[in-house]
Structure 1
Amino acid sequence: MKEIETYIVDSFTDEPFKGNPAGVCIVKNELSDSEMLSIAKELGLSETAFIGEINETNEYPIRFFSPVMEIPLCGHATLASSKVLFERNGQNSLDFVNIQNLKLPIQRNGDFIKIGFPIYDTISKEVPFELLKALGINEVNNSVYNAETKILLLEIQSAEFLKNLTPDFDKLKKSHKEINGVLVTALSTKAGFDFESRYFWPWSGTNEDPVTGGTHTFLAKYWGKKLNKSKMKSFQCSERTGFMEVELLDEKNMTITSKAQIILKGKLKI
């Protein structure tokens, strides 16, 4: 029997039971892909991260699984994993490397954790009428697509309308066959925030991801161009809500900064 040190961490929040919960497993004995997928299904969270032993280049290998499939890059599970290692080991910086050999540098500054991410581009993309209908949207300001994540981005006019969306997820899933998810965003009317978003992904995870760091790899650049800003504050207006600060460092690199709360620690036995 294997015993795996396991945590549940609420990411992109400064209070428990908000933000986005992620599972974090410290893997000391190698797990198969099927075992990691089974653990992710058992925990039932949008993603579970699996952290391997530090390697010869002082990087921690990390992999992410939704209950449905492996996800190459996950922002909230990276933040959750960073929180666990910082609290567990007492360090203030570390590097993760994902399955795509992408290096993710992490720094802690008090209660805040800053993560380095790549910046991705978007291209214009037509959206099927059936997809808009399933979302409950009649009109969009813009529709674009990010190839690295296979996610559609839809900008709509109102953050209040965004907050009140109630998609038909069965119809949404049937409306498109070639995407991993759809991100809906709007200019924020909240004091202190620049833009808001919600992320729906019944194709590859749960119906809605409460707070999504990975989408900001292209969402930050999208809004940065529109607002002529390199540093912005993002609010995800899902039921649980969450927040982060994004900063565009150059054409290829950005950071995401936020907080996380460890709410459970235990041992998983398989």
Structure 2
Amino acid sequence: MTDRIETYIVDSFTNKPFKGNPAGVCILTQKLTDKQMQSIAKELGLSETAFICKIDNQDKYSIRYFSPVMEIPLCGHATLASSKVLFEINPKIDAIHFKNIQNLDLMIKKYGKKIEMKFPVYDTIPQNAPDELLYALGIETIINCEYNKETNILLLEIKSSEQLENLSPDFEKLKQSHNSINGVLITSISQKDDYDFESRYFWPWSGTNEDPVTGGTHTFLAKYWSNRLNKKKMNSYQCSERTGFMEVELISENKLLIKSEAQIILKGELRL
């Protein structure tokens, strides 16, 4: 008998369809192997696909994330997408508890159209940016370079959001310029009235060339800009081609709130 998996595509970090970051969401009623989940993620071809399975009767779920290339321990936009699906399936609930492969507890709450996720906060440490990497990105000078070990991502701050928006990396050269990171996050202070900072995330090493909107990078990006701007609550804008937005708030030394919206654009049945 063919196994059938309820499957969705959801645009996260946006209030409009076909903007933000699309994620796959597969609701499992039985366990799949890692190979099966990897194959499904590759077939869907989205930056990440989340696989969720109910743990108990208290709205608690396991959640795992796969890019087309590899498993990703933590993914913000796929968590938001999964939450949007579960809140639509179960309109009477307003809170969900996810547990990821790292045993992180991810608490989710619904506030009208907005969904709030409680994520960990990570530190960054000073790091040198290889000249080859800067050349591949098309960046001549940077303000700062930091590294986050939990996500294995390099952070580069540059002068302006206009420069950030106009970046057009050579992804083949970028991939060859470094052999030990998952991705590189470029960020700048925002020149838009409604936002505090902006970013773009490139990860040809472990996913697609560019992730349209990236919740997971804000686990360290929020603290980085909090220290730079002396603010706990900020508005973030990802100036990729699809664009996206979120509110971030540091509520303690190790906890962060990320709040935004998501749009379900497709519901279907995946057959194995």
Instruction: State the TM-score, normalizing by the size of structure 2.
Output: 0.98
Structure 2: stretches of 5+ with no match in the other structure: none
Aligned residue type for 1:32: T
Provide the C-alpha distance between the structure 2 equivalents of 1:118 and 1:17, rounded to a whole number of angstroms: 28
Tell me the equivalent position of 2:44. Answer: 43
Residue among 123, 126, 131 paired with 2:125 = 123
Deviation at 1:57, TM superposition (A): 6.5
Provide the C-alpha distance between the structure 2 equivalents of 1:173 and 1:244, rounded to a whole number of angstroms: 28
Larger mean Cα displacement after TM superposition, 227-236 or 55-64: 55-64
Distance 1:19 1:143, change over 3 A: same
SS for the counterpart of 2:192 is coil
Question: Contact conserved, 2:59 with 2:95, CA < 8 A, in 1?
Answer: no
Tell me the equivalent position of 1:210. Answer: 212
Offset from partner CA, 1:162-217 (integer Å, 9 cap, x none): 00000000000000000000000000001110000000000000000000000000
Deviation at 1:55, TM superposition (A): 2.8
Provide the C-alpha distance between the structure 2 equivalents of 1:190 and 1:77, rounded to a whole number of angstroms: 27
Deviation at 1:58, TM superposition (A): 4.7
Identity, % of aligned pairs?
67
Aligned residue type for 2:257: T
SS for the counterpart of 2:89 is helix
Residue among 119, 134, 137 paired with 2:136 = 134
Tell me the equivalent position of 2:150. Answer: 148
Deviation at 1:54, TM superposition (A): 2.8
SS for the counterpart of 2:54 is coil
Q: How does 1:239-254 map to 2 (within 5 A)?
A: 239-254=241-256
Aligned length: 270
Tell me the equivalent position of 1:82. Answer: 83
Provide the C-alpha distance between the structure 2 equivalents of 1:57 and 1:180, rounded to a whole number of angstroms: 34
Counterpart check, 1:110 vs 2:112: yes
Instruction: State the TM-score, normalizing by the size of structure 1.
Output: 0.99
Aligned residue type for 2:43: E
Structure 1: stretches of 5+ with no match in the other structure: none
Q: How does 1:252-263 map to 2 (within 5 A)?
A: 252-263=254-265
Provide the C-alpha distance between the structure 2 equivalents of 1:30 and 1:152, rounded to a whole number of angstroms: 34
Aligned residue type for 1:51: I
